[in-house]
Structure 1
Amino acid sequence: MTEELAQGQMTLVGLSERDLPALDQAEFSDRGPILLLVHTRDINKIVKQYGNDPRIVQIIEAESPDLPASEGTRLIREMIQSGRIRDAEIWLHSDLKPLRFMAKVKTPDLPHTYPLYRQLRHFGFETICYRGPRWSVEIEPFPMLEQFVDRHKGERCFVVGNGPSLNKIDMSLLKNEITFGSNRVFLGFEKWGFEFTYWGMEDRLQVEEYFGEYEEGLSDSIPKFVPFDYVDYAKLPNACYFPLMYGNGRVFPDGISFPAFSNSPGMLYHGFTITYSLIEIAALMGCSEIYLIGVDHNYGLGAKKLSMSRAGGNDSTWSAADAGVATHFDTRYTTQNKKFVKPRPINAEVSYACSRQWCGMNGVEIRNATPGSHLDVYEMVPYEDLF
């Protein structure tokens, strides 16, 4: 391989441990030489298994860019700088999979590859090609969470839910504040006279079935936060596709017990509501005061509709007809029989308590300024007293 290395004919290939079977698939049999970057807990096992593969020049363990560079990482950087590595790919052994709520649409299963994607971006690669059996997609560069770290250090912000209580307060007071909104919050922009600073979504049903509404309702200039799961589906201008670890209410796939809070650009944790993720992002941006408004935490669905049924089943969604009270600040939010995944208020409250503890330990003040809110996890404060 020495001559080929000198000629710069090497591709840096990222593989997670679960995708190692790709090396044995016919689609990849003639691709080489490659330097293999593996996300694994046992690199010695991988070297023993694939170390004699003639396509592979070297096998290096992937690592977080947040850690001091290992010898392997330094070697890759040297090869990139010398031109011996000119492109990078990530291989998957699985076929495209159907979306959860739109089974006819199939996309790559990408969330578990984010640590590899992130490291490749830190190496300086922009457009990164994903390859699987009989498919390939190119992921164009997007702003990553790293670009938002400490952007608003020491400043205050407002994380805005979409509850009907927004109609009880003077929203124009927020025009010059840092604001985080979600989902169909744009329905209020014209009435309030301004757009929010940031916007996000993460509910799988809302992303998959109603993505077109968000694409049409949001201006290109607003920075948007969307889970990396949908980087090849929900293509929005100025979007940051952030890593979100979904859990089952007991433990997360990485072994961390539920609940968990993170202000790290490497991974955020799901808290059963987009509001929780926006709190994490606000903390990542360095906000020292976080105020919640529009977080009514009152769904009027009754115990049956709020039961902890399995998502994806026939009883896992609700519409406006199921609610006994107004659920959002604008009737257009729920018209045309729009569907929603049932809220999990108990899980969300446990998550909120986790965020309160993290903020308390890290010098961040978080309060609820929602009039009439049913969420009592945070200290309440009158909205008008903040101005």
Structure 2
Amino acid sequence: MLRWIIGLTKPLRYRIEDMLYRRSAEKEHLASLKDAYKGRPLLIVGNGPSINKTPLEKFSSIPSIGMNKIDMLFNRSSWRPSLIMCTNNLVVKQHSDGFAASDIPVYLAWKSRWFLKQKSRSIHFFNLRSDEEFSGDISMGMGSGATVTYAALQLAYHMGANPVIIVGVDHSFDKSGSANTYEKRSGADHNHFDPNYFKDGSYWGVPNLDASEEVFLKSRIAFEKDGRKIYDATIDGKLEIFEKINIDEAVALIAP
């Protein structure tokens, strides 16, 4: 009954949130990022275990987007992202202090602002629409999707990046499920680069791989229509939507 009521009120909630977002300063901030990286390569870094085998330092010369709890990697790598993104309310609840303490700009879904324990000048917001259509102008909202990587791809497009190189999106989990399925973790987390990423006893959103592939395909089509390219350099990654390249080929793409 509760899920039915929540679903019934969803269109109204999205309209209200959209109205509030449009009145905020965040819309103008995102508009200012348009073509900020026009024609420049950009790296999108996922949180899969393959990141432990990925020489991120070789990509330090180009802009990059890290996602969710990527800062858990910083104690073992000198690489740092240009910004961090998160779309998941549960992750924001779990990692609120980390986002607030970040000296790297953090971009969160507008709906997540209620779950921050403290404010920070490093935190900005983007608005997720109720549909999944790829957005070329994120100041007007982003298409929702089953993965934060979809939001990162829309931001990369908005900023004019070309090509976009993806690493760490392994697209392989010990469990997958339908939308909005949450479970308590048991034991070490082998789905991410750190065994305590979702530590024992914490909750996580079970990934929906089919839904992720649908929005990844939307991303590929949008980039290709604009004459741009997305490459997947994830080591041993299982995603088959984007053109595969190895790390050496990815490094060659960013050479001056």
TM-score by length of 2: 0.84
- CA 1:203–1:370: 2 relative to 1, 3 Å: same
Conservation of the 8 A alpha-carbon contact between 1:271 and 1:352:
no
Query: How far, CA to CA, are the matches of 1:228 and 1:169 in structure 2?
Result: 31
Q: Which residue of 2 aligns with 1:226?
A: 108
User: Which amino acid in structure 1 is aligned with residue 52 of structure 2?
Assistant: N
For residues 22-33 of structure 1, the aligned pairs below 5 Å read none
Q: Percent identity?
A: 21
2:35 alignment counterpart: 150
Shift of 1:111: 4.7
Instruction: Write the letter of the residue equivalent to 1:189.
Output: F
Asked if the contact 2:185–2:203 (Cα under 8 Å) also holds between the matched residues in 1, the reply is yes
Opposite residue 351 of structure 1, the aligned amino acid is V
- In structure 1, the gaps of 5 or more residues are 1-99, 101-108, 127-140, 247-251, 253-258
Q: Give the Cα separation in 2 of the matches to 1:214 and 1:119.
A: 23
Aligned residues: CA RMSD: 2.4
Summarize deviations over 1:125-171 as a string: whole Å, max 9, x none: x6xxxxxxxxxxxxxx7863112111111111011100011111212
Secondary structure (helix, strand or coil) at the match of 1:268 reads: coil
Determine which structure has the larger strand proportion and give its number. 1
Q: Relative to 1, partners in 2 of residues 1:318 and 1:228: Cα closer, same or farther, differing over 3 Å?
A: same
Alignment partner, residue 380 of structure 1: 244
- Residue 231 of structure 1 deviates from its aligned partner by 3.0
In structure 2, relative to structure 1, the CA distance for the partners of 1:207 and 1:368 (3 Å cut) is: same
Computing the radius of gyration from Cα coordinates, the structure with the larger value is: 1
Report if the CA contact (8 A) 1:111-1:243 is conserved: no
The answer to whether the Cα contact below 8 Å between 2:216 and 2:241 also exists between their aligned partners in 1 is: yes
Give, in whole Å, the separation in 1 of the partners of 2:188 and 2:57. Answer: 32
2:87 counterpart SS class = coil
Partners of 1:111 and 1:228 within 8 A in 2: no
The aligned amino acid for 2:173 is Y
| Distance apart, 1:212 and its partner CA | 2.5
Superimposed CA distance per residue, residues 168-226 of structure 1 (whole angstroms, 9 cap, x where no aligned partner): 1212112222110111111112321132101011112112343224334x22xx22111
8 Å CA contact 2:129, 2:141 repeated in 1: yes
Question: Contact 2:43/2:167 (CA < 8 Å) preserved in 1?
Answer: yes
TM-score scaled by structure 1?
0.57
SS in 2 for 1:371: coil
- Contact map agreement 1:272 1:347 (CA 8 A) in 2: yes
Aligned partners of 1:336 and 1:142: how far apart in 2?
38
- Tell me the amino acid that sits aligned with residue 187 of structure 2: A
> Structure 1's 162 and 118: CA in aligned 2 closer, same or farther, altered over 3 A?
closer
- For the residue of structure 1 that corresponds to 2:15, the secondary structure is helix
Cα 1:373–1:119 change in 2 (3 A) is closer
Deviation at 1:293, TM superposition (A): 0.2
Q: Distance in 1 between the 2:250 and 2:188 partners?
A: 35
Residue of 232, 243, 258 corresponding to 2:127: 243
1:307 Cα deviation from its structure 2 partner: 3.1
Residues 1:370 and 2:240 are matched in the alignment: no
Aligned residue pairs total: 238
Q: 5+ residue gaps in structure 2?
A: 1-5, 7-11, 252-256
> Residue 332 of structure 1: CA displacement?
2.8
Partner residue, 1:196: 81
The structure richer in helix per residue is: 2
Amino acid at match of 1:345: L
Alignment of 1:1-80 (within 5 A): none
Q: 1:327 — aligned with what?
A: 191
Distance 2:95 2:244 in 1: 33
- The question of whether the paired residues in 2 share the 8 Å contact of 1:318 and 1:342 is answered with no
Looking at structure 2, the residues matched to 349 and 367 of structure 1 have their Cα atoms a distance apart, in angstroms, of: 15
| Aligned equivalents of 1:190, 1:142: Cα separation in 2 | 34
Give the Cα–Cα distance (whole angstroms) in 1 for the partners of residues 195 and 112 of structure 2.
28
Residue 233 to residue 111, structure 1, CA distance change in 2 (3 Å): farther
Query: Any idea what the Cα deviations from partners look like across 1:283-328, whole Å, max 9, x if unmatched?
Result: 0011021111000000022xxxx232x63xxx632425397xx211
Is the CA contact (8 Å cut-off) linking 1:261 and 1:358 kept in structure 2? yes
Matched, 1:261 2:134: yes
